[in-house]
Amino acid sequence: MEYVLAALVGLFIAIGTYLLLSRSVIRMLIGLTIFGNGVLLLIFTAGRLTREVAPIVPDGMEVPAGPIANPLPQALILTAIVIGFSMFAFLLVLAFRAYQSLDADNTDTMRLAEPENAPNPPLSY
């Protein structure tokens, strides 16, 4: 099962990287989300996939009776999902406002600081 998840992690990261290299802002946001999901799946797979019991210690015992699931990767992933969703929502609103003010989705046409017919900078001082 870990081989399947490793291939899926590689696929997610490859697709996310491909979309991040795009010039469209929306495709870049989707690529960032897919890339983040690939990293989260990598963390989950690195935490070992087991079908053990929940990490709850019964009353009257100091340690669990048998093997338990590792709760740390699950807690890290849950926190990262919340942070990733809020970051995606913020960047989506930012991209929408940039589209409204610049009337462009392509990053090459969004360059306001670099006018097309600007004079060349001095080559020597």
Give phi and psi for 24, each to the nearest 5: -85, 135
Q: Angle 2-20/25-46 helices, nearest 10 degrees?
A: 160
* Domains held by the chain: number: 1
Distance (Å, whole) CA 82 – CA 41: 15
Distance (Å, whole) CA 96 – CA 111: 16
Q: Could you tell me the pLDDT band of residue 35, with boundaries at 50, 70 and 90?
A: very high
Is residue 35 one of the residues assigned to a domain?
A: yes
Is residue 61 one of the residues assigned to a domain?
A: no
What CATH number is associated with residue 97?
A: 1.10.287
Is residue 59 one of the residues assigned to a domain?
A: no
- The two three-digit tokens of residue 42, written as one number: 């990598």
Domain containing 42 equals 2-49+69-102
Is residue 28 one of the residues assigned to a domain?
A: yes
Is residue 22 one of the residues assigned to a domain?
A: yes
Is residue 19 one of the residues assigned to a domain?
A: yes
pTM of the predicted structure, to 2 decimals: 0.76
Tens of pLDDT, residues 52-109: 677 778 788 888 777 777 788 888 899 999 999 999 999 999 999 989 988 888 888 8
Is residue 63 one of the residues assigned to a domain?
A: no
